[in-house]
Structure 1
């Protein structure tokens, strides 16, 4: 097994942000670096620069949650010319939350995580090809980081990122209720694990990931008990205090020039997960989509498959285009269906589009009809040119 040297760092958070520490305090960011250790099969010299990967986690979790994925990627590092991997905790998550516990503001802005991702790159002077990987909150943040500073990343992997074309009260309310109802203190780590396993939320987790969460997601209290590193009130603030960044990121996906891989779970509880995932991919100039047999917590449920997806293994892919065309037949939102169709036709060969022309034509006719007579000629011309 290829070994990794893990180093923990505490660095200043970005000085450019929407929210600062209480009373002017300097927020800090906890970062782990994962450096490959020389051993059999390790090539120190290479004709091209090593690829760096930066990971950002979901709300309520921590950088170490990616370690099974990181270990899998390290084992296959020859496939992606792997160099150092990095993972960070947002300012109110994981070890960052512990470091900032006395100055955390009573609010949260998702774009600050994007700026802190860029801060990690700047602080450690990371050069060469950089791949950004983010899950949920982290997925939205990694996309916005590239929007804020175009050209930072050579490619992006957004794992069921939380971003919508409209404000989603349903998501915010359900997530808010989950966060505040969650038990957050236990007698010890064994008691915490026993409690976790009683809830469906954790039953689908990979056992290794759950053990990592028990080890790194909790901290010791002076009383001898353990509690969550991310306070549940901070998890609540993150869910409910910033919907603008989610919407802005969605609306600006077309600005991203580098390839973007979206990974989503077909059983995800985010709103309309499959059609929304297709729509997100369709808005990127170089978008692709993989659907795994998971819920929203893709990284926790299928770490091996997540890593395989990042490195391009076909084993975790679905027959995307066939699925998409069949799915579009029952898709009621015709303007969105049209956008997805554009994406499919950009990716497929001309022959494949012609083969599915009857399906495409039906969707196009419905889309034109729904959008009204004033735009009919214009849309028809555009869609025909796309095909």
Structure 2
């Protein structure tokens, strides 16, 4: 995999300030602490100037994972998307949420006892703005792809920054799940379920072999593709002076992720009808992590939702069957690109600005058009709510 990545891309690892202020309890000392986000940028090493469409992709991981799970996708996505001369990858960005991976290492002493998933989406929008804007050409498209918690956050991006992404792809997104009823509307889980979750979340190990054994036999990731789980394990491991190994994400921050879906999920559910970006959803055919109502909600409330299935896929289908996911993802991108008028060239777009007077003429022309569209006779009614 390393050979493919080195051949295809120039890779940069960057650190950016996380969005602030964050939800209450997100940092330990709210008057002092500012979190940081670590992310990788893979910029294609090939000439993309001849491509009709250049594609930027932002990948968001699920709870307990890290950005390394998407390296497989960065390495092998061009095998599918690169076969068409009309399209080319420009950038791929993978980021660690503030409580995960290298971000967790930087923020370790500052993390509080709340991780609002929408805060992670706000971080994602900030990273996308830094890396994808302004667009390199009128035919450059931005896509966000998220799994599980990352799928939730990808949907949030469609609300928080509605014009940033041209397409949203979600894999087994967690949005609507049952919890113990309570007046505060927060996520409360039964003790038995809490115990079951914690049994999958060890964070300190006697040695690297012990960590590998845990990841391959007792963790959530035991059925993952060998290349993905190996890279995830090596990336996550931190060697301690006494010879032991710990994970970058602590057991406490890991469980916090599972206990903080609500009340933000209610905000997202209420906002789903306002997501105008096309959403493509991959569902695992044998997954039981999310109840059927989760998908029914997306189907009924998203204006443009394309539901798809991987029949034998489980909740971690992106880790366990990446080839099927890659085929689906490239199909969605092709579907979107097929709806773009590639023959229009740049004729519908304004030429480069050459002077202040050019800007004034451009504004005058657009303002005249705007007035003609917005000033008309007709019946006066109240705005529809």
Distance 1:26 1:199 in 2: 35
Instruction: Give the equivalent residue in structure 2 for 1:190.
Output: 209
CA deviation string 1:96-117 (max 9, x = no partner): 1011001001221111001100
Q: CA separation of 1:284/1:189 partners in 2, compared to 1, >3 Å: closer, same or farther?
A: same
Query: Which of 274, 295, 300 is the equivalent residue of 1:277?
Result: 295
Gaps of 5+ in 2: 136-140, 182-186, 334-385
Correspondence for 2:283 = 264
1:291 partner SS: strand
> Per the alignment, in what secondary structure is the counterpart of residue 221 of structure 2?
helix
Does residue 21 of structure 1 match 2:27? yes
Structure 1 residue 47, shift from structure 2 partner: 5.6
Residues in 1 aligned to 2:180 and 2:78: alpha-carbon distance in whole angstroms: 38
* Counterpart pick for 1:74 among 62, 72, 78: 78
CA RMSD of aligned residues (A): 2.4
Instruction: Work out whether residues 165 and 250 of structure 1, in 8 Å CA contact, stay in contact via their aligned partners in 2.
Output: no
Q: 2:147 aligns with which of 135, 144, 148?
A: 135
Name the counterpart of 1:335. none
Mapped partners of 1:209, 1:133: distance in 2? 17
Q: Secondary structure at the match of 1:121?
A: helix
Shift of 1:188: 2.6
Q: CA deviation at 1:48?
A: 4.3
Q: 1:313 to 1:18 in 2, by over 3 A?
A: closer
- Partners of 2:53 and 2:327 in 1: CA distance: 22
Superposition TM-score, scaled by structure 2 size:
0.74
TM-score, length-scaled by structure 1: 0.73
SS in 1 for 2:168: strand
2:326 is equivalent to residue 287 of structure 1: no
- Give the corresponding residue for 2:104: 97
* Residue 9 (structure 2) aligned to one of 4, 24, 33: 4
**Paired residue secondary structure (2:255):** helix
Separation in structure 2 between the aligned mates of residue 307 and residue 16 of structure 1, nearest angstrom: 36
Partner Cα separation in structure 2 for residue 16 and residue 191 of structure 1: 39
CA shift digits 1:70-123 (9 cap, x unpaired): 212122333553110001111101111011001001221111001100110233
2:39 pairs with 1:31: yes
Report the CA distance between 1:230 and its aligned residue.
Answer: 1.0
**Partner of 1:109 in structure 2?**
116
Aligned residue among 149, 159, 162 for 1:150 = 162
Of stretches 75-84 and 170-179 in structure 1, the one that deviates more from structure 2 is 170-179
Question: SS in structure 1 opposite 2:65?
Answer: coil
Structure 1 residues 168 and 245 mapped into 2: Cα distance closer, same or farther (>3 Å)? farther
C-alpha separation in 2, matches of 1:115 and 1:225: 35
Rounded Cα–Cα distance in structure 2 between residues aligned with 1:33 and 1:175 = 37
Q: Deviations over 1:167-193 (max 9, x none)?
A: 567994476334423322223322222
Structure 1 spans left out of the alignment, 5+ residues: 315-387
1:125/1:313 CA distance change after superposition, 3 Å: closer
Structure whose residues are more often helix by fraction? 1
Q: CA 1:199–1:21 in 2, change beyond 3 Å: closer, same or farther?
A: closer
Tell me the SS of whatever aligns to 1:50. Answer: strand
Alpha-carbon spacing, 1:176–1:10, altered in 2? closer, same or farther (3 Å):
farther
Q: CA deviation at 1:285?
A: 1.4
Alpha-carbon shift at residue 253 of structure 1 (Å):
1.4
Q: How many residues align?
A: 309
Write the mapping of 1:162-201 to structure 2, written as runs, cut at 5 A.
162-164=174-176, 167=179, 172-173=189-190, 176-181=194-199, 182-199=201-218, 201=220
